[in-house]
Amino acid sequence: MKKRRRLSEQEYIEGVLAGDRVVLSQAITLVESALPSDQLIAENVMSAILPFTGKSIRIGITGVPGVGKSTFIERFGQLVIEEGLRLAVLAVDPSSQSGRGSILGDKTRMEILSMDKRAYIRPSPSGTALGGVSARTREAMLLCEAAGFDVIFIETVGVGQSEIAVKGMVDFFLLLMLAGAGDELQGIKKGIIEMCDALIINKADGENIEAAKRAKREYANALHLFPIKENTWLPKVMIGSGLNGEGLQSIWEMILSYKEKMINNGYFEKNRADQRLNWMNDHVRYLLESTFYQNPTIEKRINDSLTDIKSGNVSAIKKARELVEIFIHQIKMDDK
């Protein structure tokens, strides 16, 4: 089998900016790579495409397993592209290090959307640390923007730490909920509700409609008790159905209204500016951690101490400080 030729740095740049989906996929694969040589190329590619980014609206979508995210995203995505917009869907799951089954399954479940040339569905690269996930998902998002996509959906698989990462890279954060799944106000962590810009009671169809309306009232009452956000936006509670599309047009119009309000009050750009700074800080931490654990001396010291650390014969805190001091000393010696 003939080995595929690696693209040059310029070919990556030109292909992405031309909207070539094959090159876009290869560029995202490039930013996933942990190889230092690939990371250098990726950094140069990202710097070159950066002026062509930032024009999309970035929407985070999360919800408990079984809430119907894939069905909702497919139907909502169809609505977006019928508005004449191009859509990219990225999925984030920092827990899917081995098989990525849940992520790759989304592409299978979104059959109609995945076959539409105006849409692009991609499992977002995951790393061994949440900071790595954040960095690479942001890079994938920016590549999609440079390739001409107007709307970016970033889906989180399940509910957990990934929501914090995704909230830090989107303009609007959408939380999907179910009615009648127990005590609605206890069914999900308070912190995630505080992060959302809108809470959607999904699967509001058939016999679930009345239950969805009741849940909507309960959540709306509860959200009034939360502190007012910096952007002065009171999260909306709406009902919708990913199955039949009911309510999705109103949700889209609400998101556009939010964007207009945030642009007018200056929060939209402030939020993005803060996100860029946080992105740099996240990536610094990620690179420092990667460099630390890839250091041969540190790796050997950790392996030699594993038994003592696990047995409790050595203080984990003291060992950590010792390792960091060795690492810093080595850096200083290398600089001389």
Report the C-alpha gap between 132 and 208 in whole angstroms.
39
pTM for the whole thing? 0.87
What residues contact 86, with CB distance under 8 A and at least 6 apart?
A: 118, 119, 120, 148, 149, 150, 151
Identify the CATH number of the domain defined by range 1-52: 1.20.5.170
Which SS3 state, helix, strand or coil, does residue 213 take?
A: helix
Beta strands in the chain (DSSP E): 57-63, 87-92, 119-123, 151-156, 172-177, 198-201, 236-239
Is domain 54-265 in CATH 3.40.50.300, yes or no? yes
21-32 vs 130-146: helix crossing angle, rounded to 10: 160
Residue bearing tokens 């001396």:
297
| Predicted pLDDT of residue 135 | 66
Report the C-alpha gap between 153 and 89 in whole angstroms.
5
| Predicted pLDDT of residue 187 | 45
| Predicted pLDDT of residue 130 | 47
Q: What is the pLDDT along the chain (336 residues), one digit of tens a residue?
A: 555 678 999 999 999 999 999 999 999 999 988 788 898 999 999 999 999 999 999 999 988 778 889 899 999 999 999 999 999 999 876 554 444 444 444 555 688 898 899 999 997 655 544 444 556 889 999 999 999 999 999 988 655 667 778 888 999 999 998 886 544 444 455 667 788 999 999 999 988 899 999 989 888 888 877 888 899 999 999 999 999 999 999 999 999 999 999 999 999 999 999 999 998 998 898 889 989 999 999 999 999 999 999 999 999 999 999 999 999 999 888 876
Domains 1-52 and 54-265 share a fold: no
Q: Which residue ranges make up each domain of the chain?
A: 1-52, 54-265, 295-335
Which candidate, 122, 152, 139, places its Cα nearest to that of 39?
Answer: 139
What values do phi and psi take at 123, rounded to 5?
Answer: -65, 125
Residue bearing tokens 């030109």:
14
C-alpha 113 chain-centroid distance:
19
